[in-house]
Amino acid sequence: MNIPGMATTEQVAEILGIKKESVYIYVRRLKGFPQPTKVGRTLLFDEAAVRQWREEHPARQRASDSGGNV
């Protein structure tokens, strides 16, 4: 489904750099996370809202990515 300005769960996962399953967890558990609109059986997110949320909540670096000693 391609509606301008809207993103599928798969696209949101790609934007955020997370697994698709994590998007569902974010929707249920993270206060302030953009909520989807259901069109048929498809969840669609406001892409601008998702990108804005990411700007306000930068991705965490993994300990192995920080360059520290292991």
14 phi/psi in degrees, rounded to 5: -65, -45
Which of the pair, 50 or 66, is modelled with greater confidence? 50
The pLDDT of residue 69 is above 80: no
* 53 contacts: CB under 8 Å, gap ≥ 6: 32, 33, 34
Give a three-class secondary structure readout of 4-67. CCEEEHHHHHHHHCCCHHHHHHHHHHCCCCCCCEEECCEEEEEHHHHHHHHHHCCCCCCHHHCC
The 10s digit of each residue's pLDDT in 8-65 is 999 999 999 999 999 999 999 999 999 999 999 999 999 999 999 999 998 877 666 5
